[in-house]
Amino acid sequence: MQHSMFRLEMLKEGRSIRLPILLIFYDSILAFVTILFIFFNNESMQVGYYSGQSSFVTQFLIITSIQILAVFVFVPFLITYLEEADRSVAEQFLMIPGAARNLVIAKIHLILAMNILIFLSSLPIISLSCIYSGISLMKIIRLMGVIVLFAFWSGSIALFFYSLNRRSLFTFAGTIFAYIMFSIGLILLLEILRSSSISMSPTGEVSVEVRNLCLILNLFNPLSVYIGYFENIYGNLPMITSYFGNFGIDVTNTMFSYLYFKISTVVSILTAILFLYGAIRFFSNERKG
């Protein structure tokens, strides 16, 4: 049933004109950014300015950042679109024992497939940017992995809120609220903990307990995964070092940096699985009720 639902949803989306329009609009933005960077680099070289690969690396990071940001923007809208397809079939499926789990799995498969399709549509553009920047083509595979991870993470959160209330506005607002709390909200919480620790410390430093707590809590911030991807391409930047340095955390150590950002990826996956489990439970309770 899971695979038949998945094929049904993809077939319905394939007949919709919204997907081609979305892909055209999305790829046009990436192409515009790429052409703009190439144009300005050529202009700089013509007037005698040296243009190294660093500017093309910046271009690559901007394009990849747009692609990652697009995942967080598209997923809530994709969930609200799935609500339309659910109205005619969901109630019948939920009457079948074990259907809740298959329903959630089918939807997360669709979310992942849609985001992979959007990424593949931009592959010629991102490949051109990768070649100009001199970055290894393996970074494209890494980018796809990051996009799949964020699609899984954000899709699981969106499905959780969708299972609580089928209204599209509630799902969209709840997903955006979760985004804010896991990113900006978590950063503010860490800043409060840091400031409180410094104010109560006679030496004016962050205590070991608070530093370790901040280290653990920061793993739940999806921005940590993005920073790990950013660092893998560009290396350690003062901005990243300064942010972690505020909590007394040294990320200049290669081994620590490698392990920390890998652990943050694992934490994001486990968090997504937890939200998926919650979505299945609420769908199951709806069937029982």
- Condensed to tens digits (0 to 9), the pLDDT of residues 245-264 reads 777 777 777 777 778 888 99
Pairwise CA distance, residues 129 & 135, whole Å: 9
User: Once rounded to an integer, what is the mean pLDDT over residues 116-139?
Assistant: 82
Q: Output the pLDDT for position 147.
A: 93
Identify the band that residue 50 occupies on the pLDDT scale cut at 50, 70 and 90.
Answer: very low
- Condensed to tens digits (0 to 9), the pLDDT of residues 134-160 reads 777 788 888 899 999 999 999 999 999
DSSP class of 182: I
Q: Is the pTM of this model over 0.85?
A: no
Mention every residue, 6+ apart, whose C-beta is less than 8 A from residue 215: 247, 249, 260
| Other residues' Cβ atoms within 10 Å of the Cβ of residue 92 | 9
Continuous segment of H or E residues that includes residue 237: none
Pairwise CA distance, residues 246 & 274, whole Å: 30
Pairwise CA distance, residues 121 & 95, whole Å: 38
Pairwise CA distance, residues 13 & 156, whole Å: 20
Pairwise CA distance, residues 236 & 58, whole Å: 14
User: Once rounded to an integer, what is the mean pLDDT over residues 108-137?
Assistant: 83
Taking 60 as the threshold, does the pLDDT of residue 4 lie above it?
no
Mention every residue, 6+ apart, whose C-beta is less than 8 A from residue 132: 38, 56, 59, 60
Tokens at 12, concatenated: 């319905």
- Condensed to tens digits (0 to 9), the pLDDT of residues 214-240 reads 888 988 999 888 888 887 777 666 667
Identify the band that residue 49 occupies on the pLDDT scale cut at 50, 70 and 90.
Answer: very low
Residue 82 or residue 283, greater confidence: 283
The count of structural domains within the chain is: 1
Q: Output the pLDDT for position 141.
A: 87
Sign of the Cα torsion 5, 11, 12, 13 reads positive
Question: Which residue range(s) make up the domain with 26?
Answer: 2-288
